[in-house]
Amino acid sequence: MGILFSFFAVVALIVVVFVGVQGANLHYLFGVIIPFAAFITFIVGIVYRVFRWGKVPVPFRIPTTGGQQTSFPWIKASRIDNPSSALGVAVRMALEVLLFRSLFRNMRSELRDGPKLSYASSKWLWLGGIAFHYTFLIILIRHMRLFFEPVPGIIKIAESLDGFFQVGAPVVYVTDVVFLGAVTFLFLRRVVIPQLRYISLAADYFPLFLIGGIGVTGVLMRYFFKTDVVGIKELTMGWITFSPVVPQGIHIIFYVHLFLVSSLLAYFPMSKLMHMAGVFLSPTRNLANTNRAELHVNPWNYPVKVHTYEEYEDDYREFMKSAGLPVEKE
Amino acid sequence: MYNGGKIVIGLLIFVGLVISPFLLKGDKATAKPDPKVDTPEILKMPVGERTCVEDKEYMKAEHMKMLNEWRDWVVRDGLNIYTSKAGKEYTMSLQNTCMKCHSNKSKFCDECHNYVGVKPYCWDCHIAPKEEG
Ligand code: HEM
């Protein structure tokens, strides 16, 4: 059900653009107001959620690690997998954020005849994930040509490397091909593997369809239904100077692309995509394992009401004496 | 908040990156490209007929696709003549057709291309028209 629901949700978003832009001529709404609203939702939403997360105390370190913790000098400690210093944590975080290290350790488990349980390394998800995220990043960096004037040299270098194979005109970008391939892989994975299909929800399919839709409309716009990119840059530069104008004659495919991106931005803070910020706050990655080396005080400790022996004796002294029990104070 | 300092620094970096186009806009932010179509070859044409191979809107959006098709038709299929929608015939050539009329590459092609940050690699081999100055 999740699949169909998500698919038709994205189709509905596309229909909205056709009705709004082609039917009702709401170019300013779809070209300026909605993107701005989405952009603000994106920033405010993320900041709000991170602040909420920051309010939760993490008093105790959670050492789910793959290595020996620091103890005696003659026992070799695993400095990155089980760090006890800030530097070790920084390295572990960097590996996690940049190389998806814990995903790299992904295992596949199978029940064989026997019955025997077998485990094997499974790197496909890691590969698909890393291809997806890095091409996404490069595409975003290349898009910055629409938001800077003059265009910084680094973006031009990214473009020329990306178009290295010089196929066709406009040149085919390697990242576009890999990006669409990776999104397709991540989607098929959820459909083809029964266990994954069982746990997949609309909240998993919808972002995939949405991002896939953005990629497909972008590729259609660049290679098939050409549109006036100079006009589009006038629009985007209008945004950043707060004097937006909507040039005439921009193809509807651009408005579809833009509306899907706006939907993604607005949806982002309330979705699982918040893992972008969440990875930095994951307690199993960002805390040094100093459970024993340092004192950690639980911030929600309240003063515990105690009843000391002295008080006990005060309460029951007479009874104790009459029963012949020894008392400390007469 | 716990670890407030680090979280706030992280958020500042995030917000700074996201709004960087707004912060770093130069004075040229609103400058628009102005491709000049006043070359001698174009001025020779009668005023009412100063048109491109196809109409202007089409050329603006599709010229790279057209060049790609021309290239395939000439180099692979051995064709030479392109008939426009208006029925006019053109020899399909980058240097001898496009650049004959648009002999001011730096004030025409480059004007737009610099604006959108593209740098067609055609000129690695094809020879751009000589421009004085
Ligand atoms: C989540 C963010 C976005 C993603 C994943 C995305 C993805 C893509 C992809 C894959 C392409 C194909 C060509 C290429 O790789 O350059 C593309 C093209 C394009 N995108 Fe986006 N896009 C995003 C946001 C935006 C935004 C915010 C705008 C502008 C307002 C925009 C405007 C365009 C334009 C004008 C093209 C055509 C470029 C050309 O013809 O060369 N995109 N997009």
Q: Where are the domains of chain A?
A: 2-322
Phi-psi group of B35: left, alpha or beta (phi > 0 → left; psi -120 to 50 → alpha; rest → beta): beta
Q: Is the CB of A218 under 6 A from ligand 1?
A: yes
In which residue ranges of chain A is pLDDT below 70? none
**How would you class B124 by CB atoms within 10 Å of its CB: exposed for 0-12, middle for 13-18, buried for 19 or more?**
exposed
Position in ligand 1 atom list of the atom nearest CA A179: 10
CA of A59 to the centre of ligand 1 (A): 43
Q: What is the pLDDT, as a whole number, of residue A121?
A: 85
Q: Report chain B (133 residues): mean pLDDT per 10 consecutive residues.
A: 88 96 85 88 88 92 94 94 92 93 92 92 91 68
Interchain pair A237, B30: CB under 8 A: yes
Predicted confidence (pLDDT) per residue in A87-126, tens digit: 999 999 999 999 999 899 888 888 888 888 888 888 999 9
Give the minimum alpha-carbon distance from B41 to chain A in angstroms, rounded to a whole number: 25
C-alpha A76: how far from its chain's center? 34
Position in ligand 1 atom list of the atom nearest CA A265: 1
Predicted confidence (pLDDT) per residue in B114-125, tens digit: 999 999 999 999
A298 chain-B contacts, CB cut-off 8 A: none
Please list the helix, strand and coil fractions of chain B in percent, rounded to the nearest 5, in that order.
55, 5, 40
CA of A137 to the centre of ligand 1 (A): 12
Contact A126, A103 (CB under 8 A): yes
pTM (2 decimals)? 0.92
Ligand 1, atom 36, residue with closest C-alpha: A218
Interchain pair B2, A56: CB under 8 A: yes
Q: Is cis: bond before B120, omega within 30 of 0?
A: no
A299 chain-B contacts, CB cut-off 8 A: 2
CA of A144 to the centre of ligand 1 (A): 10
Q: Return the CATH superfamily for domain A2-322.
A: Transmembrane di-heme cytochromes, Chain C (1.20.950.20)
Residue A272's identity, in one-letter code, is K
CA of A312 to the centre of ligand 1 (A): 75
Contact A285, A279 (CB under 8 A): yes
Predicted confidence (pLDDT) per residue in B75-98, tens digit: 999 999 999 998 899 999 999 999
Q: What is the pLDDT, as a whole number, of residue B133?
A: 55
Position in ligand 1 atom list of the atom nearest CA A219: 12
Interchain pair A144, B21: CB under 8 A: yes
Interchain pair A233, B116: CB under 8 A: yes
**What are the two backbone dihedrals, phi and then psi, of residue A121, each rounded to the nearest 5 degrees?**
-70, 140
The residue among A131, A256, A267 whose CA lies nearest residue A203 is: A267
Give the minimum alpha-carbon distance from A40 to chain B in angstroms, rounded to a whole number: 10
Give SS3 for A204: helix
Phi-psi group of A150: left, alpha or beta (phi > 0 → left; psi -120 to 50 → alpha; rest → beta): beta
Q: Which residue of A has its CA nearest to B67?
A: A169
Q: What is the pLDDT, as a whole number, of residue B20?
A: 94
